[in-house]
A and B are shown apart, each in its own frame.
Chain A
């Protein structure tokens, strides 16, 4: 007979408190701060000072706030697209690659018009940026709908192809002829750059587009039949088929939409803060946006908040590096902690752990048959 130990059981909750579901992101943030506090303490830093420079100091100046938007814009743009796909159970993990291809496509347009830019150059770059991301996301979409290949694998693997492709270009054909052999393109002409909307900062028009996209995403998901189809497919594929919603069409839609937005985000980076094509154009926005999407409860408006929070983790990480001497990895650690706590508290909202006492002793006479 087995020893009678108390067993830990996982039980689904009958009723999931709705308020709690929205409170978990806050709880996760609080736990992340707490874990950060302990971590800094263990590493021998002054935790109060480290946390201040990580979370508060960037928000004490207008410039800090503008940087928050600069870094938040690509996260929001990509996060909204990914979240819509995630709602349909379409897992585009390769936004980083689509971002890169969007930047490449838009950047090539900027360089093609170099020295001869017109008012149409920037819009054309945007179109090219979107098209680059869309085309790159079309590959997993085709493989998924035609052959049933898992889009997580294909989209992720294509990311590395995209980064290498960008390197090939900036080390080769697109290298600035007057750039002392540095692996970077020419600086884009002024008319090929996003207008700065706040003097003395890097805040560019792309931030406004990101906010507009989030609002549009919210309208799409909440009020239109398109968003409805996406949600039905994600929650009950059989019901989607019953309703006559075509799953392949929705898969295409989600991948192309998220790819296009990622491509646009990539273009905004090279036509905004960076101003040229360089081997690395994103500090992992495409991957961080996955966390942003979940932290924002896959809700476009929530994603504005979570995008800004994650942007803070980038900026705060830099500030803390400079001011307190924290290692660079601290940004990644914080983002990881946040995702971990979010998933954990989500789990505990949906399920509960129960200590179950071992069964009482039973007469076992009949069992001895």
Chain B
């Protein structure tokens, strides 16, 4: 019943404001998406991207401002209404039932029931038309993350959206999968579907998007053609200041071996978890070692096995400075100098309901001498917490604030800082800069580099390949619980690592061979 006005933008937001207690998340935001346009929404964490998108998708309601859909003012009461208008959204975190099939999951997400067979046919049709291969009968737990994302996309496409919102869609994909996704998105755009693409990966935005709206502190600070910008200029618009470049000393591959992992195998704890199979690698003093891989390939399991939260079968599977610690728990490994930063902050790296000073006691009570007999030295803990807050620029009213009151990025800075300031000998970090703004990410990278310079062995587990390529000396790829052979980062290319990330078992040697071949052909040329 809406009469589309030919020249009107598909979606136009004007003066959208939304206030939460203590923060103006969206401050009079104006922007428009034309039909068939791929429009980037760019901003640091906390810039207001999520709030804006939630308003568009009807999850939140604006305090002020209007949304126009094809030129007509609309009020979007809830996601159901948004879908009825033709707005589809693919969330960063999937909502899928692992024990059910693809088809069952798709049909659960639809607003009205559909005949099973007809739906299966439509799923096949859509998935073929857009290069999103999917078997409707497969159980979801057998699928890779990339395949799971396809389910979410297909689920949206089945409703013939006119605007597709993608929230950080590539954080879980291999570079090859990203390329394939981009092809799909371009095809959709060519058919007239508008795409609102939320990301903080600047290169991707430059490769994919026609326009970009940049948010900072809840406001639109710039609108530009990302293809005409550099990643650096985009980043500076995003954070509003100059970016610092991480200073790296030369690769320190000559130090003594501080962390030696030899034939580490750990059976999965959870149903549908990943078994770690015969993992071996060494990290030397002064070295930053990267572990790349698509999410859910055993990174969490590996981190738990390294930190001591899960024990290895034999003591010799893991050595810290030569001492066999495979059977020792996290507390004892920490005493020997192995500190760890887990991927999950709330509830794992920190206790949300406790204060920052208490959260310091969590992992630092031994190394920082925060106990006298069984009593906690509260003053010393608060002082150490204060040191962390200062050194890592954690934005908090004080060390008596609860961990839950910090934003994700600030809590990450706090946890990373807590482990670094304990002067570890080996530091294992998972996703060091996940959800952290660009400025803070650079600071964390610098801190890790400095740590290595001081002779610490640093292990970085990350899904962000660009991050690993930038800060590691060597890296290996984990895929379904198997770790590839380590390669020198300087000599590795995105394509090879990408192959390993998405690759089947045993691809490691092939990739290395392929690399050697390509290199020799370059020389010949």
Contacts and interface: CB of A to CB of B under 8 A. Distances in A.
A333 interface: no
Nearest to B82: A362
B348 A367 contact: no
Nearest to B363: A243
Interface stretch (B45-53, B231-239, B353-361): B353-361
B35 to A, nearest CB: 14
Nearest to A360: B77
A364 B331 contact: no
B475 interface: no
A365 interface: yes
A241 B347 CA distance: 11
Nearest to B341: A242
Interface residues of A, number: 28
Contacts of B2: 363, 365-366
Given A243-B331, A244-B332, A359-B81, A366 B376 contact: no
B330 A223 contact: no
B121 interface: no
B371 A239 contact: no
B75 interface: yes
A146 interface: no
Contact of A242 (B78, B86, B348, B358): B348
A363 B307 contact: no
A362 B1 CA distance: 10
Interface residues of B, number: 50
B111 interface: yes
Greatest chain B CB density within 10 A among A226, A245, A362 is at A362
B86 A366 contact: yes
A108 B377 CA distance: 44
B111 A238 contact: no
Contact of A366 (B77, B162, B353, B378): B162
Contacts of A367: 83-84, 111
Contacts of A246: 329
Contacts of B329: 244, 246
Interface string B335-357: 00000101010111111111000
B362 interface: yes
B84 A236 contact: no
A241 B305 CA distance: 12
Interface in A196-242: 223-226, 228, 231-232, 235-236, 238-239, 241-242
Contacts of A365: 1-2
Contacts of B358: 228
A242 B309 contact: yes
Contacts of A241: 309, 330
Contacts of B284: none
Contacts of A236: 346-348, 350-352
B85 interface: yes
Interface string B1-44: 11000000000000000001100000000000000000000000
A14 B371 contact: no
B416 to A, nearest CB: 14
B376 A224 contact: yes
Interface string A1-43: 0000000000000110000000000000000000000000000
A228 B86 CA distance: 52
B155 interface: no
A239 B85 contact: no
A26 to B, nearest CB: 23
B80 interface: yes
A189 B159 CA distance: 85
A360 B111 CA distance: 17
B331 A245 contact: yes
Nearest to A226: B374
Interface string B372-413: 001110100000000000000000000000000000000000
A236 B330 CA distance: 16
A359 B344 contact: no
Given A242-B330, A244-B332, A359 B351 contact: no
B425 interface: no
A241 B331 CA distance: 9
Contacts of B62: none
Contact of A224 (B74, B307, B375): B375
B346 to A, nearest CB: 8
A245 B332 CA distance: 10
B171 interface: no
Contacts of A363: 1-2, 74, 84-85
Given A360-B77, A362-B81, A366-B160, A244 B308 contact: yes
Interface string A160-171: 000000000000
A242 B349 contact: yes
B80 A359 contact: yes
Nearest to B328: A244
Interface string B71-99: 00011111011011110000000000000
Contact of A15 (B21, B308, B331): B21
B334 interface: yes
B365 interface: yes
A226 B375 CA distance: 9
Interface of A: 14-15, 223-226, 228, 231-232, 235-236, 238-239, 241-246, 359-360, 362-367, 369
16 contacts: A14-B21, A224-B375, A224-B376, A225-B361, A226-B374, A236-B347, A239-B349, A239-B350, A241-B330, A243-B363, A244-B334, A359-B81, A362-B84, A363-B84, A365-B1, A366-B2
Given A238-B309, A238-B342, A365-B1, 9 more contacts: A15-B21, A223-B375, A225-B376, A231-B354, A235-B354, A243-B331, A243-B362, A244-B330, A366-B160
What 5 A-B pairs have minimum CB-CB distances, sorted nearest first? Answer: A244-B331, A359-B77, A244-B330, A367-B84, A238-B348
